[in-house]
């Protein structure tokens, strides 16, 4: 029976996590006019991404003319801003095969549709319409451009309290040239600056729509500074959210940039939303309209429409406010609160631990202290196995970035196998005489210590640990109301339900982490090992022999190695850009 419950929990958690990771179904072209329809947006994507259209090309001129017509038809006043490419951008364009690169200009399309209050700050949508050479760019960023057009169509001009602006920038792929010029910032490698466009100073909030790949859920991964009130508006308006504050903080530490970067540096309030699944299509010649997941376009556009409609029809806009700790709960809703509130779940978890320790009489201090180390052993084992597997997969030598992106699904499988192997090794090393209470209290106690450290160092990261750990601690308190004896069946069922929820949440966190940094540091999944152990401890079938655990660990390590070798030895992916020097 215990085995059945254990595997049922793993199966249900996997199903729940998988379902939460799926983008919504695309709405048809016949959807209500006020709704975002990915099928309507796909009509624009098919035109924009009909062929590669890098800056300065005839194809890009054709795309620009099409977008001007579309915007004019939607009631926008349209103008353009052109700047010559700086030397660094021109060199890259020349490397793509353009002999006249030094004469090329980046031309940003600037569109404005008036609202009732012309003096009020405007709401802006931004996406870039250029592609890299040899890629049609259906994802990066025809999907964002088409989403902005469909968002504007779904918002009647008569409903606008304030102006709606749309910025379709050029030469993003050459160093954010168009966006930097619009916001009055020097291009990369140059000290020359131009005055910011007058509209840049009128923007109250800017929503950037980006992609890196061709599928997955659209994730709100970046905010402006002091965006607490804006995040609350996102949480209140978005019915199918995908976001977390720790992703925002981690992204700030990465050397990445989008057109939102110069806007943020210019002090413009805003949000950055993108889908990053099917990463093999990033800058790929295979990134055609038919290859893009329409559900991902739906999710990107639906989130953009929800927050844009809320802001453009509002009498007042959210002002600067302290940043919040926030995140979505399996795509159902977004919780957002001041970071200091993170101490409340810590207090509740601590109270549950104290209650369990005072009530139960079947634990010893030395064994309880040892149990707190089980999670650290698991984390270390997962990190070592994942790191070794990553080296075996080809990371021990210079690797093709785009080929590694294509291997990301297999790298995720490797991370899962490393996680299972590390947990099995930690359990094999744990003393056989450790009681259920000792292991459970010790595992939650270790996670509480980690949560306290996270709350002190990075309060925005608290939800990653606190949200799965809090219900686990409550289940512990419910299961340890008697001094001795087995855990009541009802309490064990509660622990199973908590584990399903917690493991699904952890799976979502880990998946997004791997999408962001997985090709370079898949060992980062080791951060979740102590929490997984705390959730699974009361459900582990007993007795588990050391021999069985070691065999299971060896099998998963072997599986990790086999997948790693498949990544290392297979031919370079057909999806990589032809201009990549490491082909």
| Per-domain residue ranges of the chain | 24-337, 340-569
- Of 47, 164, 186, the C-alpha closest to 112 is 164
The superfamily CATH assigns to domain 24-337 is Zn peptidases (3.40.630.10)
The CA–CA distances, whole Å, from 124 to 65, 127, 177, 269 equal 21, 10, 18, 10
Question: How far apart are alpha carbons 497 and 245 in whole angstroms?
Answer: 26
Nearest to 325 by CA among 232, 455, 460, 465: 460
- With b for 16 or more beta-carbon neighbours within 10 A and e for fewer, the 301-318 pattern comes to bbbbbbbbbbbbbbeebb
Integer Cα distance of 127 and 170 in angstroms: 9
- Look-up: residue for tokens 């050397």? 255
Q: What's the pTM?
A: 0.94
pLDDT string in tens for the chain (583-residue length) = 778 899 999 999 999 999 999 999 999 999 999 999 999 999 999 999 999 999 999 999 999 999 999 999 999 999 999 999 999 999 999 999 999 999 999 999 999 999 999 999 999 999 999 999 999 999 999 999 999 999 999 999 999 999 999 999 999 999 999 999 999 987 766 666 678 999 999 999 999 999 999 999 999 999 999 999 999 999 999 999 999 999 999 888 888 899 999 999 999 999 999 999 999 999 999 999 999 999 999 999 999 999 999 999 999 999 999 999 999 999 999 999 999 999 999 999 999 999 999 998 878 888 888 888 999 999 999 999 999 999 999 999 888 899 999 999 999 999 999 999 999 999 998 876 678 888 899 999 999 999 999 999 999 999 999 999 999 999 999 998 877 767 788 888 999 999 999 999 999 999 998 888 878 888 899 999 999 999 999 998 877 789 999 999 999 999 999 999 999 999 999 999 886 555 4
């Amino acid at each position: 029976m215990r085995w059945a419950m254990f595997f049922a929990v793993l199966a249900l958690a996997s199903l729940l996590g998988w379902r939460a990771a799926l983008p919504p179904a695309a709405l048809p072209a016949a959807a209500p006019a006020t709704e975002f329809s990915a099928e309507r947006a796909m009509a624009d994507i098919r035109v924009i991404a009909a062929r590669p259209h890098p800056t300065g090309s005839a194809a890009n001129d054709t795309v620009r003319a099409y977008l001007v017509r579309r915007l004019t038809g939607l009631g926008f006043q349209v103008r353009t801003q052109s700047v010559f490419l700086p030397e660094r951008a021109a060199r890259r364009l020349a490397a793509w095969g353009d002999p006249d690169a030094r004469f090329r200009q980046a031309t940003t399309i600037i569109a404005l549709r008036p609202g009732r209050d012309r003096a009020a700050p405007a709401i802006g949508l931004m996406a870039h319409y250029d592609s890299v050479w040899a890629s049609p760019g259906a994802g990066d960023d025809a999907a964002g451009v088409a989403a902005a057009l469909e968002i504007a169509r779904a918002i009647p001009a008569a409903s606008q309290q304030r102006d709606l602006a749309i910025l379709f920038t050029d030469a993003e792929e050459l160093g954010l040239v168009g966006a930097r010029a619009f916001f009055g910032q020097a291009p990369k490698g140059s000290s020359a600056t131009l005055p910011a466009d007058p509209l840049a100073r009128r923007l109250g909030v800017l929503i950037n729509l980006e992609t890196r790949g061709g599928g997955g859920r659209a994730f709100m991964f970046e905010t402006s500074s002091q965006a607490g009130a804006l995040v609350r508006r996102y949480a209140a308006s978005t019915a199918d959210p995908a976001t977390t504050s720790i992703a925002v903080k981690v992204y700030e530490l990465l050397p990445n940039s989008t057109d939102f970067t110069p806007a943020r540096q210019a002090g413009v309030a805003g949000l950055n939303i993108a889908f990053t699944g099917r990463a093999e299509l990033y800058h790929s010649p295979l990134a055609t309209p038919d290859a893009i997941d329409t559900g991902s376009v739906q999710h990107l556009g639906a989130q953009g429409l929800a927050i844009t409609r809320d802001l453009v029809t509002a009498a007042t806009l959210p002002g600067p406010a302290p940043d919040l700790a926030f995140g979505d709960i399996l795509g159902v809703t977004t919780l957002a609160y001041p970071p200091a509130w993170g101490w409340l779940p810590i207090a509740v978890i601590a109270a549950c631990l104290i209650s369990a320790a005072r009530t139960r009489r079947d634990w010893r201090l030395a064994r309880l202290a040892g149990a707190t180390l089980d999670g650290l052993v698991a984390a270390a084992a997962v990190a070592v196995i994942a790191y070794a597997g990553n080296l075996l997969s080809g990371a021990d030598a210079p690797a093709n970035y785009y080929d590694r992106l294509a291997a990301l699904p297999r790298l995720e499988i490797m991370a899962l196998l490393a996680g299972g192997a590390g947990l099995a090794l930690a359990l094999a090393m744990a003393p056989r005489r450790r009681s259920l209470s000792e292991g459970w209290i010790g595992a939650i106690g270790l996670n509480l210590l980690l949560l306290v450290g996270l709350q002190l160092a990075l309060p925005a990261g608290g939800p990653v640990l606190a949200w799965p750990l809090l219900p686990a601690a409550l289940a512990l308190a419910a299961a340890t109301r008697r001094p001795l004896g087995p855990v009541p069946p009802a309490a064990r069922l509660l622990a199973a339900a908590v584990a399903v929820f917690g493991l699904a949440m952890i799976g979502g966190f880990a998946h997004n982490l791997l999408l962001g940094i997985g090709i370079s540091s898949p060992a980062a999944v080791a951060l979740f090992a102590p929490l997984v152990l705390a959730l699974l401890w009361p459900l582990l079938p007993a007795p588990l022999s050391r021999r069985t655990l070691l065999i299971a660990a060896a099998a998963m390590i072997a599986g990790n190695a086999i997948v790693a070798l498949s990544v290392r030895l297979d031919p370079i992916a057909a999806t990589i850009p032809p201009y990549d020097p490491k082909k």
